[in-house]
Amino acid sequence: MRFRTFVILTLAALILTLGVTPHRAAALEVKKSLYSGSSGGGGSGGRGPQPKNPLTPAVRQALQQTVSDDTDKFLAEEDGKKNDGKPYVDLYAAKMKYIPSTTGGVTSCIVRLEAPEYKPSKDPTSKGNKTGATKTLVLKYKLDGQKWVQTSDPGWEDASANAAGAKAKN
């Protein structure tokens, strides 16, 4: 008798479940206009879609090779500072960010290598202790044919101060 009651209740629950759920599921369509920034709503902040990267993979590879060649001098300088016991920037662990742009048919790019600053320790195998500062090496290039050419001398920026200034503006 209990088994019969169990089966009846199970079948009743199944029938109710099938009757309540929709018979077909449809995907939601998201309109691109929601993210274009032209209307007042949305969570995109009015920025719109990401712009297309004007650099082809081959041109990006050439840029990376050029940056690598151009930063050898800075790597040697920072290694010298570390060996002398002075605070140094660990460019080996730098995060590379590049900002390409095309204006009037000329492709240019700003490359930023951001890395933490360290105070070396007595142990030569150790990086040392972070000073809390973050430095950025900024390089500017333009594309001449298939070769990247520097448009100005590279320079250092204090990324920590820039971040603090940006937070203060908000």
Half-sphere exposure of 43 (CA within 13 A, CB side): 0
pLDDT for 30: 42
Task: Quote the DSSP letter at residue 96.
Answer: E
Q: Name the one residue in this structure whose structure tokens are 């742009």.
A: 101
Is the whole model's pTM more than 0.85, yes or no? no
Is 96:66 a contact under the CB 8 Å cutoff?
A: no
Tell me: the pLDDT tens digits for 82-120? 989 999 999 988 999 999 988 888 999 999 999 999 999
pLDDT value at 38 more than 50: no
pLDDT for 49: 75
pLDDT value at 135 more than 80: yes
Tell me: the pLDDT tens digits for 125-134? 788 899 999 9
pLDDT for 1: 65
Is 136:156 a contact under the CB 8 Å cutoff?
A: yes
Tokens standing for residue 38? 């032209």
